[in-house]
Chain A
Amino acid sequence: MTALPLRCRPAADDGLLFVNDSGSFFRGDPEFASRLLSGRLEQADEAFLADRGHLVDEADALSFDAHTFNVAERIGRAGTLDYLILVPTLRCNLACTYCQVSRVAEQARGFDWSDAHLAAVLELIDTLSADQVKIEFQGGEPTLRPDLIRAVIERCERFSARQFVICTNLQELSPEILQLFDRSDLFISTSLDGDPGTHERNRTKGRGSKFFANLDLLLSRYGAEKISALPTVDPSSPPEIDALIDAFRSRGLTKIFLRPINFQGFARKRHSHSREQDGAWRSYYERFVRRLVELNWANQDTVLEESYLSICLGRVFRPGRDRHVDLRNPNPAGVDYLVVDYDGSLYPTDEARMLTRSGVIDLKLGTVGSDWKGETWRMLNSHSTNQFDPACSRCAYQPYCGRDLVDDLSRYGRVDMARTSTEFCRKHQWLFDLIFELVYDKDAAVQHSLRRWLRLDCEAALGEAAP
């Protein structure tokens, strides 16, 4: 019997977290580690490892193949193009301080799709070979052009499954927009930075009351299932945690995607400190998560969650969760999703669009209507995996982690930084440390929230320990 490679990471109480190449994990104490390293495993150790697929044996033909399968299962396989982010206009009726996309004024001209752009987008939709489609309308403020949104949606009738998301600031709700929203395959995504004071300071500058009235109107008209709201937080002065949670909870919104200001677009200048997140932000985030745990325990009818934590937690336990395009490995560019900007330019991600517009680097893949798999596409895709990165190969969290080229380019202007010195790496090491701390926390309230975040109704112990 030979033990397959296990990567280690120090855990609480002198313990160690062991993770294999397929992401299967357990905790062990230093004595177990020394028995493993010296090859003096006891019978109970061997049984524990064998049942979990950590041992290979020539007499056991399945052992190596099963392990190989599990490792392969961790490698994301991007399918055919079925997800489009469309920017029908760059115009916006707000001017948020941290705007990520360099919006332009509502009355500006030449920042909407032309007829030719629309025709090319519709043609692109016609060429999709998938049976399902997801289309996200971004901006600018896409609801300034309901006609374009409608034209796109109408063209998608042929797909057996359709999902449309309109990302809107909810400043204006015309009858025409409401009629669009009435579709059952359409979802609404908006920003909600907290209580009206905070929201107004960041975003609406005196026009806030309309936003809250509109949000509440939609919630009463459709229920919370149809609407997702995301807060953008200024880490230098984050809102009070309970007030932020309450802005969501009081409206029946249970998923909170806690995002610090993205180091993109206008934020690069106005919030230049947002390049690296410091201990203060991490501490805020952890206090936020722990507060959700308390609230979920106190009221078990509601499950409040921080969306990104749930995504990472899901990836720890379940391979194949690769449709969150900010965290997957490999993370191919311009394969299963694509961004079409207001001028018909194609980008691999929304962040790449922002970065290009900020003048940092040109990540434009091409123009809608033409082939986009050129030099930029090839260069990005030849660096889209963490598989062979020397630092990642030693990291216990690699099976769960991802690769974000555009984020590295945005912060450092290059993709060949030592991984451990990037914000992406530091953030995820820290976040997975927090997740495993929670997984091995025996506190009933913590376990309750974790199970609900994993969509389990059960009482299974989530973390195992070696003998």
Chain B
Amino acid sequence: MIPLRLEVVAEGSEPFVTRLRRGQAASGGDSVMIEDGAEGAVFAGAKGLLVTGPLPPEGFEDDVILVHPAAGRAERLIRAGSAHNSLLVTERCDQLCVMCSQPPKKSHVDRFQLLKEACLLAPDAATIGISGGEPTLYKEQLLSLVEDVAAKRPDLAFHILSNGQHFDEGDVARLRSPAFRRVAWGIPLYAAEAELHDEIVGKAGAFERLHSSFAHLLRSGARIELRTVLMQANAPGLDKLATYVSNRLRFIETWSIMQLEHIGFAKNRWNSLYFDHRSDFGPVGRALDRALVRGIPVRLFNFPRCSVPAPYRPLAAASISDWKRKYMPDCDGCAERDACTGFFEWHPVDHISAKVTPL
């Protein structure tokens, strides 16, 4: 697993954002290495000296970090060598999904200003993920962040995960601005039936509110990645959901059907949630067929390639982020390993879902 934290000693007391570099500073936000050693390194920047522990072996050049001097640590917010950078804007959420991988917390620390500074230091043409909690609980700050960053860094793109509970008529004109052409919204829908969707997300009326948001997003020309986590509860209705998507939600850009992540709430509820697509690919296959025949771009996330019947394998994307991806020992020698999503770092190796058959 790639560590996302660094031990540091820094001056001052307030958290700050900086970019780590060798040689010359390219911006006022840079900290330039002045000493390098096996035990760590020393950087100098506008906020003073920054002493780090051993630097990550995969490199740190141009990484953007958020330093917490008081806590003696730094978060690697944007790793320059990775396509999987995600900024957490809040841990609060107004849904309580039955399989939530990152259960919400009540408290919130507003870090929008720091995150904006981090975006401005990101590598050229990077896509920056934004997640939570529910980012649109702080919709004003979130949309402003996108607009401010887009004005200075039109090369950057955003992928924002949202439950789609907070868009309204007043957002339409704003979301039509060119800044939001660079934003893809990852929004979950679990079933075509309101009751089932509401039950899964733990919020009455969520389905209806989501559809009102969809109407506003459609009129905004927003780019939507629809996301559906596969579970025992919604697997039988996946075919119906595909019909629904290919007739009612044709304005989405792409549809991701996602296998469960063994973390958060799903960890303790695994046996009642996990749908074993290896023993029964039928519901998934039928949904894929229905979407594909109507020209809806659809992909499978978190489905190891060997667990998917050959015709559908090209749809199984390497979706798991680099820093939390692993492969099983038997994956060695598999011809499709590089194209395969693998497993989440925390996936239990002894579980039936971890069985692999190298291709």
Contacts and interface: CB of A to CB of B under 8 A. Distances in A.
Interface string B234-245: 000000100110
Contacts, number: 69
Contacts of A66: 214-215, 218, 248-251
Nearest to A50: B248
B335 to A, nearest CB: 20
Contacts of A65: 215, 218-219
Nearest to B310: A457
A3 to B, nearest CB: 14
B244 A51 contact: yes
Contact of B289 (A52, A53, A318, A460): A460
Interface in A310-331: 317-320
Interface string B245-266: 0011111000000000000000
B269 interface: no
A454 B293 CA distance: 7
Nearest to B243: A51
A53 B293 contact: no
B219 to A, nearest CB: 6
B285 interface: yes
A69 B219 CA distance: 9
A460 B311 CA distance: 13
Interface string B286-302: 10111011110000000
A35 B248 CA distance: 23
Contact of B292 (A61, A63, A69, A458): A458
Could you say which of B215, B244, B247, B294 has the most chain A C-beta atoms within 10 Å of its C-beta?
B247
Given A65-B219, A457-B311, A53 B247 contact: yes
Nearest to A66: B248
Secondary structure of the B contact surface, majority rule: helix
Interface in B312-328: 312
B212 interface: yes
Contacts of B192: 51
Given A53-B248, A73-B250, A458-B288, A62 B215 contact: yes
A62 B211 contact: yes
B54 to A, nearest CB: 43
Interface string A444-465: 0000000000101111101010
Contacts of A458: 285-286, 288-289, 292-293, 311
A163 interface: no
Interface residues of B, number: 26
A60 interface: yes
A61 B293 contact: no
Interface string A66-85: 10011001000000000000
Contacts of B292: 456, 458
Contacts of A462: 293
Contact of A61 (B212, B243, B247, B249): B212
Contacts of A319: 295
A51 B290 CA distance: 14
A460 B293 contact: yes
B295 A318 contact: yes
Nearest to A450: B293
Contacts of A454: 293
Interface of A: 24, 51-53, 60-63, 65-66, 69-70, 73, 317-320, 454, 456-460, 462, 464
Which 8 interchain pairs have the tightest Cβ spacing? A460-B289, A457-B311, A318-B295, A458-B289, A61-B215, A62-B215, A53-B247, A52-B247
Given A51-B244, A52-B247, A458-B285, 14 more contacts: A52-B243, A53-B247, A62-B215, A62-B218, A62-B248, A65-B219, A66-B248, A66-B249, A66-B251, A69-B218, A456-B289, A458-B311, A459-B286, A459-B289
